[in-house]
């Protein structure tokens, strides 16, 4: 055999070895063997759906199987989440978990069709604060001025939310308790209507996810007073945190993650965690998330499981203090 032929075969062997190494480690374990379903427990079009589709597209590339997004809305995420909780734990049915369906709902619903023990939490995707925004008609420009105004006129001012028991509602209740504020809660059926009425001055302030209010803040239609994250948010660099404004330790964030049914094999969870973390390193995906104020995460399944437990405790305390319930 000539030297050039031997070199060609050697290069081919090396290329083949590299390609095998690049394949998902789970392929050697027989997973995934068919397309994966990622259940998004909310209707199409919202933040949860957008994040789910971005992550699903990257996971499909990494795992070598289609990742199909299935929107299964209802009961603030409970219906879709329950579907995953009761699915076969083979790694082919996953949940885009989140603060409502996997933390707040345990505290505000009288009966839940599932509990946290019914899931294996695989990877945290991203966190994002609620933002306290004010109507342009409200005569305040800074958070401290807002506190002074509300304390001076107890019971007069209103705070809107996207619904009873939402993260925005409970963020406001946490602030009211911490700052000893007397305000009237006005719940809406969704964030869009709450934004419209805050801009129009029919309600004074609104707590809502950072991505939903960002275009209105940038357009000058709403005034951002504070964010609920522990650190300032890159999309709102000049807006103080509530924690730095006299309430150390204050934190109330929305978040998304990938979760699987309890009983999903350790090897599948490990590989899916690695794939999710790698997907989140994609420059285009990160830019899409960070441009609207999400803080991209990275961590192990154990990290995410502890995070969820902390969130369940945090929101249970807020719900108990506010008396928020959904019957």
How confident is the model over 172-231, as pLDDT tens digits?
999 999 999 999 999 999 899 999 999 999 999 999 999 999 999 999 999 999 999 999
Q: Which residues of the chain have pLDDT under 50?
A: 1-10, 12-28
pLDDT at 29: 63
Structure tokens at 216: 């209105």
Torsion of CA 295, 256, 57, 91, to 10 degrees: 140
CA distance 196 to 223: 14
Integer-rounded Cα Rg, in Å, for the chain is 23
Residue 176 falls inside a structural domain: yes
With contact defined as beta carbons under 8 Å apart, do 64 and 272 qualify?
no
CA distance 289 to 223: 22
Q: Pinpoint the alpha helices (H) of the chain.
A: 3-22, 47-63, 78-85, 99, 105-108, 143-152, 167-179, 191-200, 210-218, 266-279, 283-290, 301-322
Q: Are residues 40 and 89 in the same domain?
A: yes
With contact defined as beta carbons under 8 Å apart, do 321 and 175 qualify?
no
pLDDT at 268: 97
CATH number for the domain harbouring residue 239: 3.40.190.10
CA distance 219 to 222: 8
pLDDT at 322: 83
Residue 85 falls inside a structural domain: yes
Counting the structural domains of the chain, the total is 2
Residue 236 falls inside a structural domain: yes
CATH number for the domain harbouring residue 72: 3.40.190.150
End-of-domain residue from the set 245, 276, 297: 245
pTM: 0.88
Torsional sign, CA 214, 192, 326, 112: negative
With contact defined as beta carbons under 8 Å apart, do 15 and 253 qualify?
no
End-of-domain residue from the set 190, 222, 245: 245
CA distance 219 to 197: 16
pLDDT at 27: 46
CA distance 37 to 50: 15
Q: Are residues 140 and 78 in the same domain?
A: no
Query: Could you list the residue range(s) of the whole structural domain that residue 108 is in?
Result: 31-128+253-322
Distance, C-alpha 116 to centroid of its chain: 17
The gap between the terminal CA atoms of the chain, to the nearest Å, is 79
Q: Are residues 229 and 284 in the same domain?
A: no
End-of-domain residue from the set 245, 279, 295: 245
Read off φ and ψ for residue 61, nearest 5 degrees.
-65, -40
Report the phi/psi class of residue 31: left, alpha or beta, with left for phi > 0 and alpha for psi in -120 to 50: beta
Q: Are residues 138 and 239 in the same domain?
A: yes
């Amino acid at each position: 055999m000539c030297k050039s032929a031997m070199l060609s075969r050697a290069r081919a062997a090396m290329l083949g070895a590299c390609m095998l190494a690049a394949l998902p480690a789970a392929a050697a374990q027989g997973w995934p063997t068919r397309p994966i379903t990622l259940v998004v427990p909310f209707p199409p079009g919202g933040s949860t759906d957008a994040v789910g589709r971005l992550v699903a597209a990257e996971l499909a590339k990494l795992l070598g199987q289609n990742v199909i997004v299935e929107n299964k809305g209802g009961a603030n995420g409970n219906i879709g989440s329950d579907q995953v909780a009761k699915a076969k734990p083979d790694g082919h049915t996953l949940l885009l978990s989140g603060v409502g369906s996997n933390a707040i709902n345990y505290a505000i619903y009288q009966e839940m069709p599932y509990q946290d023990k019914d899931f294996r939490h695989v990877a945290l995707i991203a966190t994002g604060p609620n933002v306290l925004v004010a109507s342009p008609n409200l005569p305040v420009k800074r958070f401290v001025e807002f506190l002074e105004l509300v304390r001076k006129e107890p019971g007069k001012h209103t705070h809107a939310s996207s619904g009873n028991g939402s993260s925005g509602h409970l963020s406001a209740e946490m602030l009211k308790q911490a700052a000893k504020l007397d305000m009237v809660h006005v719940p809406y059926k969704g964030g869009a209507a709450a934004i419209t009425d805050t801009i129009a001055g029919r309600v004074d302030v609104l707590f809502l996810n950072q991505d939903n209010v960002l275009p209105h803040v940038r357009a000058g239609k709403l005034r951002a007073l504070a964010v609920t994250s522990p650190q300032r948010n890159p999309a709102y660099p000049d807006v103080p945190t509530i924690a730095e404004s006299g309430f150390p330790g204050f934190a109330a964030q929305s978040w998304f993650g990938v979760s699987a049914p309890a009983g999903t094999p350790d090897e599948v969870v490990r590989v899916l965690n690695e794939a999710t973390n790698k997907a989140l390193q994609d420059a285009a995906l990160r830019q899409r998330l960070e441009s609207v104020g999400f803080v991209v995460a990275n961590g192990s399944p154990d990290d995410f499981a502890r995070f969820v437990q902390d969130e369940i405790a945090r929101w249970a305390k807020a719900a108990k203090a506010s008396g928020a319930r959904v019957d």
